[in-house]
Amino acid sequence: MIELFTWTTPNGEKPIIMLEECGLDYDLHLIDISAGEQKKSDFLAINPNGKIPALVDDGIRVFESGAILIYLAEKSGRFLAPSGKARAEALAWTFFQAGGTGPMLGQWYHFEKAVPEKIPYAVERYREESIRLLSVLDGRLGDRDYLAGEFSIADIMNYSWAVAGLDGLDVRERFPALSMWAGRMGGREALARGLDRLRSAKGGLRA
Protein backbone atom coordinates (compact mmCIF):
# COMPACT_ATOMS: atom_id res chain seq x y z
CA MET A 1 0.00 0.00 0.00
CA ILE A 2 1.24 3.47 -0.88
CA GLU A 3 1.63 5.75 2.12
CA LEU A 4 1.37 9.46 1.38
CA PHE A 5 2.72 12.02 3.83
CA THR A 6 1.48 15.51 3.04
CA TRP A 7 -0.30 18.69 4.13
CA THR A 8 -2.79 21.19 2.69
CA THR A 9 -0.38 23.36 0.71
CA PRO A 10 -0.02 23.73 -3.08
CA ASN A 11 2.93 21.33 -3.04
CA GLY A 12 1.10 18.98 -0.71
CA GLU A 13 -1.96 18.81 -2.97
CA LYS A 14 -0.13 17.52 -6.05
CA PRO A 15 0.41 13.87 -5.06
CA ILE A 16 -3.09 13.30 -3.70
CA ILE A 17 -4.54 14.64 -6.96
CA MET A 18 -2.25 12.29 -8.89
CA LEU A 19 -3.15 9.29 -6.77
CA GLU A 20 -6.85 9.91 -7.30
CA GLU A 21 -6.41 10.51 -11.03
CA CYS A 22 -4.47 7.23 -11.32
CA GLY A 23 -7.00 5.31 -9.24
CA LEU A 24 -4.31 4.03 -6.88
CA ASP A 25 -5.05 2.97 -3.30
CA TYR A 26 -3.16 4.83 -0.59
CA ASP A 27 -3.09 5.64 3.09
CA LEU A 28 -3.06 9.34 3.89
CA HIS A 29 -0.86 10.66 6.69
CA LEU A 30 -1.06 14.36 7.50
CA ILE A 31 2.17 16.07 8.49
CA ASP A 32 1.22 19.29 10.27
CA ILE A 33 3.89 21.70 9.11
CA SER A 34 2.50 24.46 11.33
CA ALA A 35 3.43 22.26 14.30
CA GLY A 36 6.86 21.38 12.89
CA GLU A 37 6.06 17.71 12.34
CA GLN A 38 8.11 17.71 9.11
CA LYS A 39 11.25 18.19 11.21
CA LYS A 40 10.67 15.19 13.46
CA SER A 41 12.97 12.18 13.15
CA ASP A 42 10.31 9.79 11.85
CA PHE A 43 9.55 12.03 8.90
CA LEU A 44 13.19 12.95 8.30
CA ALA A 45 13.85 9.24 7.81
CA ILE A 46 11.53 9.49 4.78
CA ASN A 47 12.60 12.91 3.55
CA PRO A 48 15.92 14.12 4.97
CA ASN A 49 15.12 17.59 3.60
CA GLY A 50 12.24 17.92 6.06
CA LYS A 51 9.64 19.03 3.50
CA ILE A 52 6.26 17.65 2.43
CA PRO A 53 5.14 15.80 0.39
CA ALA A 54 6.72 12.36 0.48
CA LEU A 55 5.53 8.82 -0.06
CA VAL A 56 6.60 5.28 0.67
CA ASP A 57 5.63 2.44 -1.62
CA ASP A 58 6.71 -1.10 -0.69
CA GLY A 59 9.94 0.12 0.84
CA ILE A 60 10.64 2.73 -1.86
CA ARG A 61 10.70 6.29 -0.58
CA VAL A 62 10.11 9.22 -2.91
CA PHE A 63 10.22 12.90 -2.01
CA GLU A 64 9.90 16.15 -3.99
CA SER A 65 6.54 16.59 -5.66
CA GLY A 66 7.83 16.35 -9.23
CA ALA A 67 9.65 13.12 -8.50
CA ILE A 68 6.52 11.72 -6.86
CA LEU A 69 4.37 12.51 -9.90
CA ILE A 70 6.88 10.90 -12.26
CA TYR A 71 7.12 7.83 -10.02
CA LEU A 72 3.34 7.44 -9.89
CA ALA A 73 3.00 8.03 -13.64
CA GLU A 74 5.50 5.29 -14.38
CA LYS A 75 3.95 2.97 -11.80
CA SER A 76 0.45 3.40 -13.23
CA GLY A 77 1.36 3.91 -16.88
CA ARG A 78 -0.75 7.08 -16.96
CA PHE A 79 -0.31 10.79 -17.64
CA LEU A 80 3.30 10.63 -18.89
CA ALA A 81 4.21 9.29 -22.31
CA PRO A 82 7.00 6.67 -22.26
CA SER A 83 9.11 8.56 -24.80
CA GLY A 84 9.13 11.18 -27.51
CA LYS A 85 7.79 14.71 -27.84
CA ALA A 86 4.81 14.27 -25.52
CA ARG A 87 7.04 13.07 -22.68
CA ALA A 88 9.53 15.87 -23.26
CA GLU A 89 6.79 18.52 -23.18
CA ALA A 90 5.21 17.10 -20.04
CA LEU A 91 8.54 16.97 -18.23
CA ALA A 92 9.49 20.48 -19.37
CA TRP A 93 6.29 22.00 -17.96
CA THR A 94 6.58 19.88 -14.82
CA PHE A 95 10.02 21.28 -14.06
CA PHE A 96 8.92 24.77 -15.13
CA GLN A 97 6.71 24.67 -12.06
CA ALA A 98 9.32 23.13 -9.78
CA GLY A 99 11.86 25.83 -10.59
CA GLY A 100 9.50 28.70 -11.36
CA THR A 101 6.00 29.36 -10.07
CA GLY A 102 6.40 27.40 -6.84
CA PRO A 103 9.57 29.11 -5.58
CA MET A 104 8.62 32.57 -6.86
CA LEU A 105 5.07 32.58 -5.53
CA GLY A 106 6.32 31.08 -2.27
CA GLN A 107 8.81 33.91 -1.86
CA TRP A 108 6.18 36.52 -2.77
CA TYR A 109 3.83 35.13 -0.14
CA HIS A 110 6.61 35.07 2.46
CA PHE A 111 7.65 38.67 1.92
CA GLU A 112 4.08 39.92 1.46
CA LYS A 113 2.39 38.05 4.31
CA ALA A 114 4.83 36.41 6.70
CA VAL A 115 7.65 38.80 7.54
CA PRO A 116 7.10 41.22 10.45
CA GLU A 117 8.50 44.16 8.47
CA LYS A 118 7.89 44.38 4.73
CA ILE A 119 10.75 44.85 2.31
CA PRO A 120 9.19 46.62 -0.71
CA TYR A 121 11.95 45.55 -3.12
CA ALA A 122 11.48 41.86 -2.26
CA VAL A 123 7.69 42.07 -2.46
CA GLU A 124 7.82 43.75 -5.87
CA ARG A 125 10.54 41.49 -7.24
CA TYR A 126 8.74 38.25 -6.44
CA ARG A 127 5.33 39.62 -7.36
CA GLU A 128 6.47 40.69 -10.82
CA GLU A 129 8.35 37.47 -11.49
CA SER A 130 5.33 35.43 -10.36
CA ILE A 131 3.08 37.39 -12.71
CA ARG A 132 5.55 36.89 -15.55
CA LEU A 133 5.53 33.13 -14.98
CA LEU A 134 1.74 33.05 -14.92
CA SER A 135 1.80 34.92 -18.24
CA VAL A 136 3.99 32.15 -19.69
CA LEU A 137 1.39 29.57 -18.66
CA ASP A 138 -1.39 31.72 -20.08
CA GLY A 139 0.43 31.99 -23.39
CA ARG A 140 1.00 28.26 -23.57
CA LEU A 141 -2.68 27.55 -22.92
CA GLY A 142 -3.96 30.05 -25.45
CA ASP A 143 -4.37 27.42 -28.17
CA ARG A 144 -4.61 24.14 -26.26
CA ASP A 145 -6.58 22.60 -23.40
CA TYR A 146 -3.62 21.19 -21.47
CA LEU A 147 0.01 22.12 -21.10
CA ALA A 148 1.49 19.15 -22.97
CA GLY A 149 -1.44 18.71 -25.35
CA GLU A 150 -3.06 15.81 -23.53
CA PHE A 151 -3.78 15.90 -19.80
CA SER A 152 -0.56 14.95 -18.01
CA ILE A 153 1.49 15.28 -14.85
CA ALA A 154 2.39 18.79 -16.05
CA ASP A 155 -1.18 19.91 -15.41
CA ILE A 156 -1.31 18.30 -11.98
CA MET A 157 2.07 19.82 -11.10
CA ASN A 158 1.02 23.34 -12.06
CA TYR A 159 -2.60 23.43 -10.92
CA SER A 160 -2.48 24.35 -7.24
CA TRP A 161 0.26 26.97 -7.57
CA ALA A 162 -1.44 28.53 -10.60
CA VAL A 163 -4.70 28.87 -8.69
CA ALA A 164 -2.84 30.30 -5.71
CA GLY A 165 -1.20 32.84 -8.00
CA LEU A 166 -4.35 33.79 -9.90
CA ASP A 167 -6.25 34.40 -6.70
CA GLY A 168 -3.47 35.65 -4.43
CA LEU A 169 -2.24 38.18 -6.97
CA ASP A 170 -5.79 38.95 -8.18
CA VAL A 171 -4.89 38.50 -11.84
CA ARG A 172 -7.56 36.14 -13.18
CA GLU A 173 -8.87 38.75 -15.61
CA ARG A 174 -5.37 39.32 -17.00
CA PHE A 175 -4.91 35.65 -17.86
CA PRO A 176 -8.13 34.27 -19.42
CA ALA A 177 -6.59 31.14 -20.94
CA LEU A 178 -4.95 30.15 -17.66
CA SER A 179 -8.17 30.88 -15.77
CA MET A 180 -10.19 28.71 -18.16
CA TRP A 181 -7.66 25.89 -17.78
CA ALA A 182 -7.91 26.19 -13.99
CA GLY A 183 -11.67 25.86 -14.32
CA ARG A 184 -11.34 22.74 -16.49
CA MET A 185 -8.93 21.26 -14.00
CA GLY A 186 -11.14 22.09 -11.04
CA GLY A 187 -14.04 20.32 -12.73
CA ARG A 188 -12.21 16.98 -12.84
CA GLU A 189 -13.88 14.55 -10.45
CA ALA A 190 -10.68 12.86 -9.32
CA LEU A 191 -8.99 16.18 -8.60
CA ALA A 192 -11.94 17.38 -6.54
CA ARG A 193 -12.10 14.05 -4.72
CA GLY A 194 -8.44 14.26 -3.74
CA LEU A 195 -8.69 17.81 -2.45
CA ASP A 196 -11.87 17.00 -0.55
CA ARG A 197 -10.18 14.04 1.13
CA LEU A 198 -7.19 16.15 2.09
CA ARG A 199 -9.26 18.98 3.52
CA SER A 200 -11.61 16.62 5.34
CA ALA A 201 -8.65 14.89 6.94
CA LYS A 202 -7.29 18.24 8.09
CA GLY A 203 -10.70 19.19 9.45
CA GLY A 204 -10.83 15.95 11.41
CA LEU A 205 -7.37 16.62 12.77
CA ARG A 206 -8.41 20.06 13.98
CA ALA A 207 -11.70 18.88 15.52
33-70 burial string, b = 16+ CB within 10 Å, else e?
beeebbeeeebeebbeebbbbbbbbeeeebbbbbebbb
What pLDDT, on the 0 to 100 scale, is given for residue 206?
A: 59
What value, to the nearest 5°, has the Cα angle with vertex 86 and ends 83 and 87? 45
Question: pLDDT by residue (tens digit) across 122-159?
Answer: 999 999 999 999 999 999 999 999 999 999 999 999 99
Q: Do domains 2-79+190-206 and 84-187 have the same CATH topology?
A: no
Task: Could you please state the CATH topology (level 3) that the domain comprising 84-187 is classified under.
Answer: Glutathione S-transferase Yfyf (Class Pi); Chain A, domain 2 (1.20.1050)
How many residues comprise the chain? 207
What number is the average pLDDT over the span 158-176? 98
State the architecture of 2-79+190-206 in CATH terms.
3-Layer(aba) Sandwich (3.40)
Q: For the chain, what are the domain ranges?
A: 2-79+190-206, 84-187
CA neighbor of 54 nearest in space, from 22, 93, 92, 26: 26
What pLDDT, on the 0 to 100 scale, is given for residue 204?
A: 73
What number is the average pLDDT over the span 107-116? 94
